[in-house]
Structure 1
């Protein structure tokens, strides 16, 4: 009986050891990223890459930022042993000049349940950023080129949010990052957040116009980016009416047509 009990104890100990060793291990390439100088108005973005060096899948339960100015994202599917995943940190620099040092905490089922990642840098104005660069750095910088700078929506109903589509091309040598759109009317924004544009590539950017005032309207919006040459202006026009329903129809040659 004593030998059987000893054997059972040994088996239980082995199973306990195996259970302790059977776990995912989240190994990051680095846990701190320094953006250096960031043009004010841009969304500074970095992907922290990690590899599962353990022997069980890793599932990220959540990522918590230290402030509302940082928006995290992460790999939502289980990361199998030997495979890789990412945790993305996006820092909104609009209206936040100066030094920043922020963290995101990753919670998962890995051997280290909580891992803290850090992003830091200095937000500077466009002119200050341009003045600080050498000619070689300017030559390597991203360059934003629009297919046009003006869009006329024609007649629109107050309360609607029509979309204008602009083609943005990056003529520079680094990724082009589009920042916030600002306007005095606070009625212009993205339909969805734009993605980084690779050098030589183009992308369609959808801009929403939510003007509620009645009449012939013209609004100028500023498109911020990491183009060191400065910001880009967009001019949006529209004839805003109260409604576009059947009550706004008139007779023209005995045929009902939309009011013009």
Structure 2
């Protein structure tokens, strides 16, 4: 009988160790993003990149912001081992001048089951911002966009589409892209590299996911350390429809049928 109990105890230990070793682990590139100074009005957004460094799939079940001024979005499908996902934070700066620090609590079936991310910055009124000196402007980085608009044509509501741009730093110091501002929380970005040396270029991707059924024009302002006043606004256009598949079906139904 003692041997049976000993065998059962060993089996329980082995099973518990297996349960511990089989787990998903969400590892964020960083847990805090500083927007720096942002103009009051539009939504400033940032995507936190996360990787599953465990050996089991992880599903992010919820992201809770610390206030209604911060709108979270996140990867809804399971993040497989070795794969990546995002948690996007959009901060509405309208009517909120001053320093801010906001948190997002990420809940998942990974280990640990809750993690906290932070965004911070300072919302400033452009009229109240002291003018930069001539010397500061002369040594500043400067954004130059090869194109400033992109027309997607027809897009389905909620569909993700990417517009690609090229920007060049024509200034005299490193250009740092810190985020974007839009009137909606429907645009994300990727800059490669995020720090652009003087005289060099970078690839910029704007990932658009429209939520309103109508002709849309979105103005996207790049946030950076460029103080020269160079234009850093991009325009995205789209005709947002419910379903392109439904439209194609209607066209097929209306197609003429040859006489037999």
Q: TM-score range by the shorter chain?
A: 0.5 to 0.7
Over residues 14-36 of structure 1, what are the superposed CA-to-partner deviations in whole Å (9 max), with x where a residue is unaligned? Answer: 10121122111111121111111
SS of the aligned residue for 2:7 comes to helix
12-21 or 108-117, larger mean C-alpha shift: 12-21
223-232 or 1-10, larger mean C-alpha shift: 223-232
Please show how residues 93-112 of structure 1 align to structure 2 within 5 Å. Answer: 93-112=93-112
Q: So what's the TM-score if we normalise by structure 2?
A: 0.58
Alpha carbons of structure 1 residues 46 and 177: separation in structure 2 relative to 1, 3 Å:
closer
Aligned length: 193
Distance across 2 between alignment mates of 1:50 and 1:197: 14
SS of the aligned residue for 1:10 comes to helix
Please show how residues 163-242 of structure 1 align to structure 2 within 5 Å. Answer: 173=169, 177-180=180-183, 193-194=186-187, 196=189, 225-226=221-222, 229=229
Structure 2: gaps of 5 or more residues: 150-164, 170-175, 192-201, 234-260
Partner of 2:238: none
Deviation at 1:126, TM superposition (A): 2.6
Over residues 94-148 of structure 1, what are the superposed CA-to-partner deviations in whole Å (9 max), with x where a residue is unaligned? Answer: 221110110011000011111111111101123455735832575434779878x
- 8 Å CA contact 1:105–1:114 kept in 2: the answer is yes
- 8 Å CA contact 1:178–1:196 kept in 2: the answer is no
Distance across 2 between alignment mates of 1:107 and 1:101: 20
Deviation at 1:80, TM superposition (A): 1.3
SS of the aligned residue for 1:111 comes to coil
1:44 aligns with 2:44: yes
Partner of 2:29: 29
SS of the aligned residue for 1:14 comes to helix
Distance across 1 between alignment mates of 2:25 and 2:52: 5
Deviation at 1:43, TM superposition (A): 2.1
SS of the aligned residue for 1:110 comes to coil
- 8 Å CA contact 2:64–2:104 kept in 1: the answer is yes
Alpha carbons of structure 1 residues 195 and 19: separation in structure 2 relative to 1, 3 Å:
closer
Partner of 1:140: 142
Partner of 1:153: none
Q: Which has the larger radius of gyration?
A: 1
Distance across 2 between alignment mates of 1:52 and 1:143: 35
Deviation at 1:66, TM superposition (A): 0.7
Distance across 2 between alignment mates of 1:140 and 1:89: 26
Deviation at 1:79, TM superposition (A): 1.0
- 8 Å CA contact 2:63–2:72 kept in 1: the answer is yes
Root-mean-square deviation over aligned CA pairs = 4.1
